[in-house]
Amino acid sequence: DAEITQSPRHKITETGRQVTLACHQTWNHNNMFWYRQDLGHGLRLIHYSYGVHDTNKGEVSDGYSVSRSNTEDLPLTLESAASSQTSVYFCATQNSLRTDTQYFGPGTRLTVL
């Protein structure tokens, strides 16, 4: 069965460290998204990609970067982790149409101390 996996599922890091969260999908979907979920803010879009070598900034992109070297993966990098980036991160995929349903991975809980 096609799926979306995220790793690690839980991560604790220190302020200032670089952290990379992995997202891997076997849906063969073109579009991939990263969201963060925080109490009081719901889910907010960080970055997204419509295909290989395409990346775009979302509404809360400061301090984050992504790269898309193949269809299956969209890793999210925190360049220098800050306590404000403590959150639950969700990766989502979507078929080619930008109004198609987005399917979400299981999430990564990141704590920055």
Partner 1 sequence: AQKVTQAQTEISVVEKEDVTLDCVYETRDTTYYLFWYKQPPSGELVFLIRRNSFDEQNEISGRYSWNFQKSTSSFNFTITASQVVDSAVYFCALSGPISSNTGKLIFGQGTTLQVKP
Q: Which of 33, 34, 64, 89 binds partner 1 (CB under 8 A)?
A: 33
Q: Which of 24, 43, 61, 65 binds partner 1 (CB under 8 A)?
A: 43
Structure tokens at 63: 């301090």
Q: Which of 68, 76, 107, 112 binds partner 1 (CB under 8 A)?
A: 107
Distance, CA of 35 to CA of 102 (rounded, Å): 12
- Please state the closest distance from residue 76 (CB atom) to partner 1, in A: 16
Q: Roughly how many angstroms between the first and final C-alpha of the chain, as a whole number?
A: 37
Count helices and strands in the chain by DSSP H and E runs:
0, 11
Structure tokens at 69: 């070297």
Distance, CA of 5 to CA of 28 (rounded, Å): 13
86 binds partner 1 (CB under 8 A): no
Which range binds partner 1 by CB under 8 A, 13-21, 63-71, 75-83, 102-110?
Answer: 102-110
27 binds partner 1 (CB under 8 A): no
* φ and ψ of 26, to 5 deg: -115, 20
22 binds partner 1 (CB under 8 A): no
34 binds partner 1 (CB under 8 A): no
